[in-house]
A = this chain, B = another copy of it.
């Protein structure tokens, strides 16, 4: 990217100087979301919601293609339900919002607004699961959840957020483990193939796993400031909840009953934050074409009235040619200059701008300007129906490649704690280091450097050697440390 041609709109902070403020400015000025009068809750504005709908559609299709069905459970969960799985209630109780009064009376038992739905789902499926024939259960829910967070940020951490939560029950531990991995694979595919965000799938350590899970696996992405963002998690719940809720099924073996094995997995509006922070630049958003609400904006350029009619007629023709192939918008507002429009659509991250004026028309062509590289090229009007989809695909790939290149550049192998602290204190990087796997040691590293174990990547090769900090034997492969959102 050529920095010299990057015009910085004066109303967003410089990304290179104040990343956090840049993020907030982009969210608000690009009209993705806004503050609400309710502490920690945001308003998702039409442009942001359209982006979320595109993400939802892609993910929902994949969830269904892997055999899951959507359903809907109540928003409110009795306190006694939440309390049945000990680790779970301990993990979530501090964040719960409680309904204590309804319909004009105090409730006998207070009701939690769901922070997640394992408990209500277990209490329901206790009735539905009787035999091995009832398994597997493969369901999913699109819903809002509430977790009372102290420090909130648009999309990344809000008191209420939107998500999907998948919940499954299986006859065997192997099937549950396979499901846990499969759905993380779906999240990886969403992130990489649709959102152009390269991710690292791996296992969470004890201190970062879901309350009540045997095992939590996640995809971790590097944001363009070098910090990590957990972008989707999948939990193998084992029999922890099914035992606590007394769910039992008759196995194929006569007379044998056992607790089924369970998984849950979720991806939320947080992923919108990942899109913004992975691809955005000094001019604002840069949206991956596959989920961009507007993939192409057409800006007709004509100062004189007679030119305008001719240009708009050509725009109509182009629109007809692109209809059904590309999500596009014509910005024919008369009161605004082309330059103003360029800035606005750049801020909003539209992947391609199509400029068309009288001289272009004379030459039978238009100019296509890429948002990501800011390069421009003249393209014959007759070939637009093929050229635009092809360019969108190229941009999609290019965004992924750029993000992957940055992650590689900012990923460093360290073998001693001096190097570890030096690197992480000088800038945000991913550190590949050996670790003993002990919670105490992890806590000390976090305390001293703010870096945490993001995951134990699945992909890394086995590697013996001492822990980067304490020198005890490592867990047998490198783990990924980073400062996280």
A binding-site residues for B, Cβ under 8 Å: 34, 36-38, 41-46, 48-50, 53, 69-78, 81, 94-104, 110-111, 113, 120, 123-124, 139, 143-144, 146, 148-150, 160, 162
Contacts and interface: CB of A to CB of B under 8 A. Distances in A.
Contact of A43 (B74, B101, B110, B111): B74
Nearest to A41: B74
B98 A70 contact: no
Given A38-B120, A94-B104, A99-B113, 8 more contacts: A36-B73, A36-B120, A41-B76, A44-B71, A46-B71, A50-B70, A97-B102, A144-B144
Contact of A37 (B100, B120, B150, B162): B120
A75 to B, nearest CB: 5
Given A43-B71, A97-B102, A99-B113, A76 B124 contact: no
Contact of A74 (B38, B111, B124): B38
Given A38-B77, A101-B100, A144-B75, A70 B46 contact: yes
Contacts of A43: 71-74, 124
Contacts of A98: 99-102
B72 A162 contact: yes
- The 7 nearest A-B residue pairs measured at CB: A103-B148, A46-B69, A41-B74, A97-B102, A44-B72, A98-B101, A102-B148
Nearest to A335: B133
Given A74-B38, A78-B38, A102 B111 contact: no
Contacts of A74: 36, 38, 41-43, 160
Nearest to A94: B104
20 contacts: A34-B124, A36-B124, A37-B78, A38-B74, A38-B77, A38-B111, A38-B120, A41-B74, A41-B75, A43-B124, A46-B71, A49-B72, A50-B70, A76-B146, A94-B104, A97-B111, A98-B101, A101-B110, A102-B146, A144-B144
Residue from A45, A50, A81, A97 having most chain B Cβ neighbours under 10 A: A97
Contacts of A36: 73-74, 120, 124
Given A69-B50, A74-B38, A160-B74, A95 B103 contact: yes
A36 B78 CA distance: 11
Contacts of A94: 103-104
Contacts of A95: 103
A162 B70 CA distance: 14
A40 to B, nearest CB: 9
A143 B50 CA distance: 15
Contacts of A162: 72
Contacts of A69: 46, 49-50
Contacts of A104: 94, 148
Contacts of A120: 36-38
A44 B140 CA distance: 12
Most chain B CB within 10 A, of A43, A50, A99, A162, is at A99
A36 to B, nearest CB: 5
A110 B102 CA distance: 12
Contacts of A73: 36, 43
Nearest to A121: B43
B46 A160 contact: no
B49 A71 contact: yes
Nearest to A36: B74
Contacts of A100: 98-101
Contacts of A139: 46
Nearest to A123: B37
Contacts of A81: 37
A319 to B, nearest CB: 17
Contacts of A75: 41, 113, 144, 146, 160
Contacts of A42: 74
Contacts of A49: 69-72
A433 B441 CA distance: 82
Nearest to A45: B71
Contacts of A150: 103
A139 B50 CA distance: 12
A73 B42 CA distance: 7
A111 B100 CA distance: 11
A162 B45 CA distance: 20
A101 B148 CA distance: 10
Given A37-B81, A75-B160, A124-B43, A70 B97 contact: no
